[in-house]
Structure 1
Amino acid sequence: MHLRLIVPADRTETVTDTLMTDDRATNIVVLPGAARRPAGDVVHCDVTREATSDILSWLKAEGMYDEGAVAVTVVDASPSKNARATEAAAPGAPDDAVVWDAVVDQAYGEARGSWAYYTFLTLATMIAAVAVVTDSAILVVGAMVVGPEFAVVVALALGLALGRRDLAVRSLRLLVAGFLVAIVATALAALVARGVGWIDLADVTAARPLTGFIWRPDKWSAVVAVLAGCAGVLSQTAGRSNALVGVFISVTTVPAAGDLALSLALGAPHQIGGSAAQLGINLAGMTLAGIATLLIQKAAVRPSRFVRSLGHRH
């Protein structure tokens, strides 16, 4: 991980000396007086992923978050001898390390909401509705991948696990508002489609061998939601976003929302409860699994000897 720091001039020596004493940091560069807003010296360094949370915690305790600035980016490759030696000095595996400040910052960004979030969730729900009408498993998968809701579920779990009430409230509000907008918009589109003769009640209530599971939740719905929630949170905290595609196509949130919208619009009361239950089970299962995963990760991480020695030193 690459850290770009803006450090008040009178604190630069302390910061650089501290970084120099840690074998898990390398490529340390100091640019005196280079920063203008905020004013100060610019310090660049590369640190192992395992050390990033340790060093960020120390910088925060030293006031760098308030008096200076901290930016964290991922280094895709560092094929140098000193980088390999630095990685060898860090115990553990990079994938097991959680950069908590980066995860929390990303969660706040996801919980902010945007027109893009509402648009993607609405489009995904509409695709799911078409999948229900045509009994298409392929379209169900497509709707799952398009849906952006999982990042907000992770933000909700993070807020609850770390006791950040504002993050939890914002995430829950965004989830509810997003699905409400998507379901209402899809129901209105279904009414228009029924008005022009494209669909009718039989399209929803007829036997659907490929998509009937959407409104018939069972014990496996909860099992998959829990497993997907664990996998999704691990992929977020470990920086392995490629695993998220598998999570997207494992849960039945967006398809359930599409089925619910159609059932409301066309008048299929016996399916409304089932699709709503499917949606609730998946959201609740992922959230609870996410909370448990985050708490286990947090409990498993202990401050390094470097951080403890800094605490005694200062």
Structure 2
Amino acid sequence: MALQIRIVVPSTTADEVVEIARSHPGVSEISRSKGASLVPEGDVVVLQAVRESVELLLEKLHKLHIDQQGSISVTAPELMISDRLDKAEEEVAGDGADAIIWDEVEKDTNSDSKLTWSYLAFLIIAVQLAGIGIVTNSTIAIVGAMVVGPEFGPLAGLALAVVDRRWKLARRAVLALLIGFPLAMVLTALATAGSVGLGLFTPADVLNNNQATEFIYHPGPYSFIVAVLAGAAGMLSLIGKKSAALVGVFISVTTVPAAGYVAVALVLGEHGRAAGSAVQLFLNVAGIVASAAAVLLIYRMVQRRRPAPTLYSAAHAAATARSVGSRNAFRR
């Protein structure tokens, strides 16, 4: 898996960038356009590197304080055909699917942890859908609420903040949770009260023992276990850029349904069920954050223990050159 790294820096710093790239295993191509950048004035250096080596490369580049002089951008080409890249992938330890780039994780969690209008809108809609599913005994509506809910973003941000001690990110994530959930619950409670007044549903039907929604206000050991597994899967999907797995994470946890049940139960005077749903909400949040943070810690420990990749051996380089030559001759 290849990544393209584009670096804009002053010419003097560009010399250091090229020197670092030349000596870094996993870099298959280096190109430099002198004076190509007008604002800021300087050079543009473009590198091709295997994903497994990019985190260590970025650590080296960060020591040059490039962000204060220019910029670093990382993109993933859709397709790249290169024998040099194939050789780099063979020489660098690990697999691209397992490689974690901390700047990438921070960027993703930062953007998803912000208290924005779209975040509030999605959370309010999700909790409203959960409330409707509860009063109508609709499992489909409850599952839909789980999928729509955007709460995993702030929870993942909080996990990263705990591991990396990024307290600014922690405050942002906590603010999104502490404002988003109460606001959505208050609006759902108002909607529930309005529905009762209009006779849209019968409270007695909701309060009867209902197998479809009982799991929401009856938390148990498996509530926390499911949250732990979902949090780990969610963080792994963020690290590995497997967004499809996040849908399963959303459906697994009951944060949004629990918030919706708290609002409905309080309006209907069922304080016991409201308390049980609140406990369910807390268990889900705690389990997701704890397991997501554990995944990040494990990845960090594995990266520290992994030996640094070595430069290509002369023998392997000669063997690769012979192999490439024979393939080219066969193509001709």
One-letter code aligned to 1:199: F
Distance in 1, Cα, partners of 2:87 & 2:141: 48
Distance in 1, Cα, partners of 2:251 & 2:40: 44
Selected match of 1:213 from 212, 215, 224: 215
Match of 1:76 in 2: 78
Is the contact made by 2:232 and 2:295 (CA closer than 8 Å) also made in structure 1?
Answer: yes
CA-CA distance at 1:20 after TM superposition: 2.4
Q: Percent identity?
A: 38
CA-CA distance at 1:270 after TM superposition: 1.9
Distance in 2, Cα, partners of 1:166 & 1:274: 32
Distance in 1, Cα, partners of 2:137 & 2:213: 6
Could you list the per-position Cα deviations for residues 255-302 of structure 1 after superposition, in whole angstroms to 9, with x for gaps in the alignment? 111111111222221211011111110001111111111111111112
Q: Secondary structure at the match of 1:3?
A: strand
CA-CA distance at 1:306 after TM superposition: 6.3
Distance in 2, Cα, partners of 1:184 & 1:77: 49
Give matches, 1:1-314, under 5 Å. Answer: 1-302=3-304, 305=308
Is the contact made by 1:135 and 1:209 (CA closer than 8 Å) also made in structure 2?
Answer: no
CA-CA distance at 1:22 after TM superposition: 2.7
Q: Secondary structure at the match of 1:217?
A: coil
Structure 2: 5+ residue runs without aligned partners?
A: 311-332
Distance in 2, Cα, partners of 1:306 & 1:90: 5
One-letter code aligned to 2:30: I
TM-score where L is the length of structure 1: 0.93
Q: Secondary structure at the match of 1:14?
A: helix
Distance in 1, Cα, partners of 2:81 & 2:206: 57
One-letter code aligned to 1:70: I
Q: Secondary structure at the match of 2:252?
A: coil
Aligned residue-pair number: 307
Q: Secondary structure at the match of 2:72?
A: strand
Determine which structure has more spread, i.e. the larger CA radius of gyration: 2
One-letter code aligned to 1:81: D
Distance in 2, Cα, partners of 1:77 & 1:193: 54
Compared CA separation, residues 294 and 52, structure 1 to 2 (3 A): same
One-letter code aligned to 2:300: K
TM-score where L is the length of structure 2: 0.88
Structure 1: 5+ residue runs without aligned partners?
A: 308-314
Q: Secondary structure at the match of 2:45?
A: strand
Is the contact made by 1:59 and 1:65 (CA closer than 8 Å) also made in structure 2?
Answer: no
CA-CA distance at 1:95 after TM superposition: 1.7
Could you list the per-position Cα deviations for residues 222-271 of structure 1 after superposition, in whole angstroms to 9, with x for gaps in the alignment? 11011111111111112222211111111000111111111122222121
After the TM superposition, which of the residue ranges 253-262 and 67-76 deviates more from structure 2?
67-76
